[in-house]
Structure 1
Amino acid sequence: MKNQRYCPPPGFLLPPPTNVRPLPHISDFEHILRSYPWSKKTTIAIKASVGGKSVYEYAHRAGEEETGNMYDTKIRIASVTKLFTVLAVLLSKPQIGWEDLITKFVPGLEEEPYAEVTIGALAGQTSGLGRFGYVGDLALIPGFSPAQLGLPNVTHKLPGCDIYPGGEVCSKPQVLDMFNDPAYHPTSPNSGPLYSNIAYNLLGMALEHVHSKSYEQIIQELIFDPIGMKDSSYETPSKADGILPQSGDRWFAAPFSNFNPSGGIWSTPNDMLLFLEALQSHKLLSATQTRKWLQPSSLLPSLHQLVGAPWEIFRPTDVEVAVPRPIDLYTKAGGVAGYSSHAVLVPEYNIALTIHAAGDDATRAVQDLLPLVAKPLIAHVDEEVRAQVHHNYAGTYVSSDGMKRMILMVDDGPGLWVKNAVMNGVNILPILASMQSLSASNAFARMYPTNIDSKTSEKESWSMMLDREKEGSERGFAEQECGSWNWGDPARYAGQPLDRVVFLMREGRATGLGMVAWGTAANDILHREV
């Protein structure tokens, strides 16, 4: 990766694209697929869109040479279900608040152990609860010998329910008994994240309490029906509708029952893409609520991963884009024996991506497919974005009296390069640089779409930030020299920000611009030369 010379502000470098051309192909995709040991024995289905427009799809059934129509076939999405559970919680305001204690919604849950466990902590994997509860307990697995691990013989008997999908289902009192057992109590809530499935069981119970309906009916009414997800449910499909295990396969195709809020949904690639596009278009949540939901809630030891609720946020730096930088992928993975899925949003590029697999190596397949598909897809859309911005915004803007002029270009840096900015005959960039204790002799600036909510209006609001080129070795301890989030709105004149730029738009193209503090946004527009 090249040295990152620039320190752009948080947010998008350029506006999300519209009407992106389909990704023509992924180089050597078929050859690469055949190199993986799982390729012949794994069914896969991939779909991607940009701004709701399909740009890529690929499907292959295990054992078949030709790609098959997998896009309306049901596959278990496992823990991707957690996205639906959290979304249902967010759609249940004000009955359920993010900072409400879970004891408010689960009668019989002991107060003391859960006195600090909030809805947000459960959703963000910081509740302190363990992973599974009774599920997979070695003491209940037939044929397991405690001696092989040097374990003592069991001195008390577990109820024997909820130990695996399809087995005996715990009753509600038995579920409460488990959560109230000190062996399963949460530890150190709101410390580091620990992946917990039973945390989502509690969220499902909270939803049932406030809606007085089954969890499955709540998801149907709040999400499936409004979006039009007609092929998604918690019921195991028939062999005609879904990918199911063959004789001898040990896949988890049975109902998840109490674990439905954690991983019980069956869905199709088409339905899952519809779901992600509904999040992008704010069909159920507003833009502000969606952005808040996408915020990370916990850090991890890796510089490239963060934890959300329940987002698994990846920040790869090896994607071939024009401006090398971390690219934020908001993902949720799901996997049980025989099935694996990945749901991905890339807000900066308006990308929605779903990957599904079925087979003994489904989880490995999805992990391998994510970078194999996401990297060329993002690189393709990045090229489209820069071409669109060049067409829609770049050029020379001049006032009617010729005393104000700006030249904007798409170069190899972030945002729009402000090559020249003259207001009332004054070259303003060196003056602004001196005011910010920067070099006036080499003053350049860039424009960024910092108010992305204005994208669909006739007046788009951007911000102009002075360049502070920093080679990798000059960024200082913990990159303190790149504190760009602290550089916006540096000065005002008569109440108006000097960095605010307004583009006048017509049918998606800029026809003029105004610098707010200079009054040009109101009466003396700089018109774009054609």
Structure 2
Amino acid sequence: MLYTTAALSLILFAAQTYAVCYDPSPAFLPPKSNTYRGSAIINDAFKSIAANLDELLAQSAFDTSSFSIEVTTSTDSLWELHHTARDKDPERPGAEKVGGDSVYRVASISKAFTVLAIIQQHAAGNLSIDHAVNQYLDLEGDIQWSDITLRTLASQLSGIPRDFAMGDLLYGDIDPVSFGLPPFQGEKVPDCESSCSADELLENLATRVPIWPPKYKSSYSNINFDLLGLVVEEVTGLAFADYVEQAILQPLGMDSSSFIKPDDSVAVLPKGLNYWDFELGVQRPTGGLYSTSSDMSKFLRHALKSHDILSPQISWFSPGSYAEHLSSFYGMPWEIFRTSSILPSTSRPVTFVTKAGSLPGYLTYAIMAPEYDLGITIFTAGSQTLLDLLREAVTVPLLRAAEEAAQSDLHSRYAGIFTAAAPLNSTIVLSQSDSNGLYIDSFISNSTVVVGDPQVPLSLLTQGLPFRVQLIPSLLYRENEVGRKGEVWRGAVVLEERQEGVWSDNCLTNYDPALYAGKPLFEVVFWEDDGGIIEELEMVGFRVRMGRDGGEKADGIIGGGFANKKEQKVMG
């Protein structure tokens, strides 16, 4: 097998620049709602989750706890489960029975609404998310305000303090002297037991010092979002709560959500200390929203559908800074978690885009898994340990079931044999497995073996190590001359065996490593028939279209200048 010097150099260059990842993501298009609704796998998972939670909640430790859980896709809700505390405050029991319309304090999930308001105003041209915050607010003191943009605030990269009143030990239940602190006799600092004002916030910030310089290191700050709320007020001329009501809650139909405390008859009120009645004032943008699990599902549906189209300059689910753990990142305002531990058959990472909330008496979590088109709301009132148990008990079996259902659809929709019409000798076999996703099992193009023989030139990309060509959806589509839709996928050369060493974890993806006559070598288009069934596969770089076996053969060669070979041989 001989190669010209130029061709060999090109392939070796591609090998150096084309880092191969072990389990690329995503493995499939986001499943549609009917994939889940018609799936016995998903239904069994929900039944199992409910049974496990019944067993958990039988413990007396959770007698005073209530919760609401709801699972949705980007189009509609799939499942919900609610639990009412067995032991309530008899003088103030709240809602008689907890359901989807029962109201919780969602605490810091409010930050997601604040960021959405900023993005809306950025898209409208009323502000720039990359302008410094002091272009909109009069800010003084030692903090480097001119280096802190709205994006920096939203991404937890400002370096400014976490709180300006809440959390001060001076006003806690424990005597500060017991911590070894000296008695305080200086000027009173804000306590916000009655809601603090914007003036009090800005006056306090003028006396504060940063934790560290802007953009140096991420650190959670509630003040970031207090300031973003003030920016919304500055550019819209509306009170922050009024703007969110008019621009977000009403359009999404979140009729039970508000920054105003609702009646006790719909309230989930935990027994003991809670912040149900606490008015946050200027801190509303960081944690003041009251909402229901049903309403939060509406918000998650909007986020799942719109996160990449809200503004040309913003990808809302992308990370903006590192957190401390290698799997954790901050977004705007998301807490993003990527894990390779959840799927039993593959180390392919799963991304959770989340926002947690916490106020005394309430712990809440909003979770999205965009690759699966799933949103999960978990609201709790009562025990401080319940939420973590619910999160594990719901997300792990649900995502594993969603993976199984998606892989089943992947097999039935795409796997099979595709063959060009005679006399062209071109055939591709696509296979699917839970560990490898959709991949090219073998490919003969114009009587030449491209995939399926260890001696093909593609092996140079992996330095002779075993590999597969896995197909990855691009979320791009084509339309042919008769109006039929084609899904565009990309082929990735993936190592089958993990290598040893620290740098084996380094992966810089490159899904466009080579061209042939100006066309991507491993761009794949799946063409649908009138009923939406895959009937043809086009290998764009190879200028060949192949029909699915069992249907009509495709016309074959696309374009001129490509000769048909009669004998089969290894490409080279």
TM range, normalised to the smaller chain? 0.7 to 0.9
Q: Residue 396 of structure 1: which of 407, 411, 417 is its match?
A: 417
Which position in structure 1 is the counterpart of 2:183? 153
1:287-302 equivalent positions in 2, closer than 5 A: 292-302=315-325
Which position in structure 1 is the counterpart of 2:43? 23
Which position in structure 2 is the counterpart of 1:99? 130
How far off is 1:512 after superposition? 0.8
Q: Higher mean Cα deviation, 237-246 or 428-437?
A: 428-437
1:347/1:90 CA distance change after superposition, 3 Å: same
1:87/1:432 CA distance change after superposition, 3 Å: farther
Q: Higher mean Cα deviation, 103-112 or 460-469?
A: 103-112
Q: Is the contact between residue 143 and residue 209 of structure 2 (CA under 8 Å) also seen in structure 1?
A: no
How far off is 1:111 after superposition? 8.3
Please say if 1:173 is aligned against 2:173.
Answer: no
Which position in structure 1 is the counterpart of 2:119? 90
Query: Which blocks of at least 5 consecutive residues in structure 2 are unaligned?
Result: 1-19, 89-95, 552-572
Map Cα deviations across residues 218-262 of structure 1 (whole Å, 9 max, x no partner). 11122112211111100111111221355x544343221111000
1:356-395 equivalent positions in 2, closer than 5 A: 356-359=379-382, 361=383, 363-395=384-416
How far off is 1:295 after superposition? 1.3
**DSSP 3-state at the match of 2:534:** strand
Name the amino acid aligned to 2:117.
A
Q: Distance in 1 between matches of 2:328 and 2:515?
A: 37
Name the amino acid aligned to 1:477.
V
Identity %: 26
How far off is 1:173 after superposition? 2.5
Query: Which blocks of at least 5 consecutive residues in structure 1 are unaligned?
Result: 1-5
Please say if 1:325 is aligned against 2:348.
Answer: yes
1:501/1:146 CA distance change after superposition, 3 Å: closer
Q: Residue 302 of structure 2: which of 260, 278, 291 is its match?
A: 278
**DSSP 3-state at the match of 2:295:** helix
1:17-416 equivalent positions in 2, closer than 5 A: 17-18=31-32, 19=34, 20-21=36-37, 22-24=42-44, 25-26=47-48, 28-34=51-57, 38-63=61-86, 68-93=97-122, 94-110=125-141, 113-141=144-172, 145-160=175-190, 163-164=191-192, 167-181=193-207, 183-185=208-210, 187-245=212-270, 248-282=272-306, 286=309, 292-359=315-382, 361=383, 363-401=384-422, 402-416=424-438
Q: Is the contact between residue 64 and residue 270 of structure 2 (CA under 8 Å) also seen in structure 1?
A: no
How far off is 1:280 after superposition? 1.3
Q: Is the contact between residue 74 and residue 302 of structure 2 (CA under 8 Å) also seen in structure 1?
A: no
How far off is 1:285 after superposition? 5.8
Q: Distance in 2 between matches of 1:298 and 1:335?
A: 22
**DSSP 3-state at the match of 1:485:** coil
Map Cα deviations across residues 17-36 of structure 1 (whole Å, 9 max, x no partner). 12113433125413542365
Q: Distance in 2 between matches of 1:123 and 1:385?
A: 33
Normalising by the residue count of structure 2, what TM-score does the alignment of the two structures yield?
0.82
Q: Distance in 2 between matches of 1:150 and 1:465?
A: 60
CA RMSD, 1 decimal: 2.7
1:388/1:353 CA distance change after superposition, 3 Å: same
Q: Residue 470 of structure 1: which of 497, 505, 509 is its match?
A: 497
1:57/1:368 CA distance change after superposition, 3 Å: same
Name the amino acid aligned to 1:201.
D
1:265/1:287 CA distance change after superposition, 3 Å: closer
**DSSP 3-state at the match of 1:89:** helix
Q: Is the contact between residue 28 and residue 406 of structure 2 (CA under 8 Å) also seen in structure 1?
A: yes
Name the amino acid aligned to 1:462.
W
1:250/1:232 CA distance change after superposition, 3 Å: closer
Moved over 6 A (4+): none
How far off is 1:296 after superposition? 1.3
Q: Distance in 2 between matches of 1:96 and 1:413?
A: 46
**DSSP 3-state at the match of 2:495:** coil
Name the amino acid aligned to 2:491.
M
* Greater C-alpha radius of gyration: 2
Map Cα deviations across residues 48-97 of structure 1 (whole Å, 9 max, x no partner). 023434332211000089x9551011111000001111111111113222
Q: Is the contact between residue 502 and residue 515 of structure 1 (CA under 8 Å) also seen in structure 2?
A: yes
**DSSP 3-state at the match of 1:52:** coil
Q: Distance in 2 between matches of 1:339 and 1:79?
A: 11
Q: Distance in 2 between matches of 1:455 and 1:200?
A: 41
**DSSP 3-state at the match of 1:356:** strand
